[in-house]
Amino acid sequence: GNSVTQMEGPVTLSEEAFLTINCTYTATGYPSLFWYVQYPGEGLQLLLKATKADDKGSNKGFEATYRKETTSFHLEKGSVQVSDSAVYFCALSGRNNNDMRFGAGTRLTVKP
């Protein structure tokens, strides 16, 4: 079945550091890929998405590229801020929306 594996946290960075959170997937067919962010005590918010190979999703300085050859969708940001501290979930959706699979989540803490 479909599944997502993302790098374990927690990740602690200093402000303005470069961020990479690795995400790889296993899926049949052509899934859509998502990154969600969850701030403390809140629900999940969509950060970015990509629906086909080589698509790049981007939002708020974050970006991720759908790499079919490496089955990856790594999240990157060039310069993190304290306000980026949150838990980040990689997810994929198969043929049906009810087939959404989440990774285990990576907690990011950014220190001033």
Partner 1 sequence: DAMVIQNPRYQVTQFGKPVTLSCSQTLNHNVMYWYQQKSSQAPKLLFHYYDKDFNNEADTPDNFQSRRPNTSFCFLDIRSPGLGDAAMYLCATSRDGPGRRGSYEQYFGPGTRLTVT
Q: Which is nearer to partner 1, 13 or 105 (CB)?
A: 105
Q: Which is nearer to partner 1, 70 or 96 (CB)?
A: 96
Minimum CB separation from partner 1 for residue 5, in Å?
Answer: 11
Among 66, 103, 108, 110, binds partner 1 (CB under 8 A): 103
Interaction between residue 46 and partner 1 (CB under 8 A): yes
Tokens of 35: 């990154």
Q: Which is nearer to partner 1, 34 or 73 (CB)?
A: 34
Is the bond leading into 112 cis (omega within 30 degrees of zero)? no
Nearest to 62 by CA among 41, 89, 40: 89
CA dist., res. 16 & res. 83, Å (int): 11
Burial of 97 (0-12, 13-18, 19+ CB in 10 A): exposed
Q: By rule CB under 8 A, what count of residues binds partner 1?
A: 27
Interaction between residue 105 and partner 1 (CB under 8 A): yes
